[in-house]
Amino acid sequence: MSVRTRLDQLKPRPKWVRHFLNYFAILFGVILAKFVVRGRHHLPNKGPFILALNHFNYADGPFVIYAIRKPINFIVASDQFLKWFDYWAPWLYGIIPANRIRLAPSTIKSSKKALLAKEILLIFPEGTSLSNELRPAKGGVMFLSTTMQVPIVPLSINGKIGDIWSNALSGIRPRVQINIGKPFGPYSLPKERSQKEEKLAKIGDEVMCRIAALLPDKHHGVYRGNPSIKNYREENNL
């Protein structure tokens, strides 16, 4: 049974609004954390492209805005109940809601619309993880990249973020590191169904291994020991 929440009622704000709000996100980031951003030169000069990011904390979204500094379309799981102090950010900036129990056609439509407009789309490939260890990617990022033929830019965010509001009240500014990897793809898919599913699974593993290459080993989760990670680290030169 599908669960509807306040998040399902949200939609992306106009691009100029998101551009304006980026300045507040930068200020928000400076006040709440000490940032180290590496690999910003890997970002394409313009869209469309997809950002693929690990998801270890509810503050990941606003902090990524600090690193990217361009209007972003966030795909956010809408079948979750957020407390008011976690709800304000998606309400203010706008999101593309994605119900993980029953995905609405509007989610795909809004995502494709953003990419057709040559904008930036951000996806948490694992869904809502918040476990500090990587898990397998779900199908969204691979489907949109191959269908729309747009590249994927892997990102990682890591740091002892904890409860950002408790930290702020205590005067604690945790160190947060965001690494941006080289873009890759898009890939074409074979027409035969079984081969297509196999190819999508391989792309999903590549997405997660490229994110793992940007994170310390202790966060690699199910990808720990994958030999591709070393190659991607050398490729990114971070």
- Please say whether the structural domain 6-236 has been given the CATH code 3.40.50.2300: no
**Segments making up each domain of the chain, as ranges:** 6-236
**CA dist., res. 176 & res. 151, Å (int):** 26
* 113-131: pLDDT as tens digits: 999 999 999 999 987 666 7
Note the pLDDT tens digit of each residue in 148-182: 999 999 999 998 776 676 777 778 888 899 999 99
> HSE-up of 1 (CA within 13 Å, CB side)?
1
pTM: 0.90
- Are the CB atoms for 207 and 148 separated by under 8 Å? no
Sheet hosting strand 72-77, strand order edge to edge: 34-38, 175-180, 152-159, 49-53, 120-123, 72-77, 96-98
Residue 19 three-state SS: helix
Tens-digit pLDDT profile for residues 183-216: 999 999 988 988 999 999 999 999 999 999 999 9
Report pLDDT digits (tens) over 128-154. 666 789 999 988 899 999 999 999 999
